[in-house]
Amino acid sequence: MELLIVNNTSPFVNDIVSMIKDLGMSFKCKLYSEIITDELSSYRAVILSGRRNYNKETNIKNNKIIEYCNRSDIPLLGICYGAEMINLFFGGSLIKMKNTIHGFVKITSINNNIFLPNESSIYVYQSHRYAIFRLSSDLELLCSSSDSKHEVFKHKKRNIFGVQFHPEKSGIEGKHILYNFLELANRCD
């Protein structure tokens, strides 16, 4: 079985693909509009990319993917927009930021977790206009920053994770985050 990367028209999707190739994982990358929900069972795990512009159809399709992964217990990682959609799906909320964030920010681990098991903080790349305002009660906060309280979270009962930043643009630390998610997905197989 392989990984599915959902391309939500992120300008960074090629960076996700490049990192996953470097990590040696078998994968397919499909545009969100090409996803057939019933075919998700053939994937080991799913990554939801960020997005470039608002599109109602993207939101609808991502909600269906999240619903399927939640119901079928398929490991899921949401990056930036993908994380925001996971939070919204489970009843959380977003807020539009005063200024768009572009650049590196230091995130700090709230508690020991699969992404930062031995480190208290790392620098990651952000590029977003929205931030998670209220984290769903179904989700657990793992890392925060001075720019965004809810940088990394996980579902309390499922292997569903969200990162508000872009690991694919965060160098070796970002690659480590993707590696840890893929390792978790391999153990769930």
DSSP per residue, 8-48: EB-TTHHHHHHHHHHTT--EEEEEGGG--GGGGGGEEEEEE
What are the structural domain ranges in the chain?
2-188
pLDDT at 135 over 70: yes
pLDDT score at 102: 85
The pLDDT assigned to 186 comes to 82
Whole-number Å distance between alpha carbons of 39 and 51 = 22
Q: What is the DSSP string of 57-103?
A: HHHHHHHHHHHHHHHHT--EEEETHHHHHHHHHTT-EEEEEEEEEEE
Torsion of CA 149, 13, 160, 110, to 10 degrees: -30
Q: If pLDDT is split at 50, 70 and 90, which confidence band does 79 have?
A: very high
Kindly report, residue by residue over 92-108, the tens digit of the pLDDT: 999 888 888 889 999 98
Proportion of the chain above pLDDT 90, given as a percent: 71
37 φ/ψ sector (left φ>0, alpha ψ -120 to 50, else beta): alpha
Given a cut of 60, is residue 118 above it in pLDDT?
Answer: no
The whole-number average pLDDT for the span 120-144 is 91
Of residues 89 and 117, more confidence is placed in: 89
Say if residue 16's pLDDT is above 70: yes
The percent of residues above 70 in pLDDT, for the chain, comes to 97
Q: How confident is the model at residue 119 (pLDDT cuts 50, 70, 90)?
A: low
Question: Out of 25-29, 54-58, 66-70, 184-188, which region has the weakest mean confidence (pLDDT)?
Answer: 184-188
Q: What is the CATH number of domain 2-188?
A: 3.40.50.880
Q: Averaging pLDDT over each range in 49-53, 124-128, 135-139, which range is the top one?
A: 135-139
Amino acid at 151: E
**In this predicted structure, what is the pLDDT of residue 88?**
96
Residue 117 has pLDDT above 70, yes or no: no
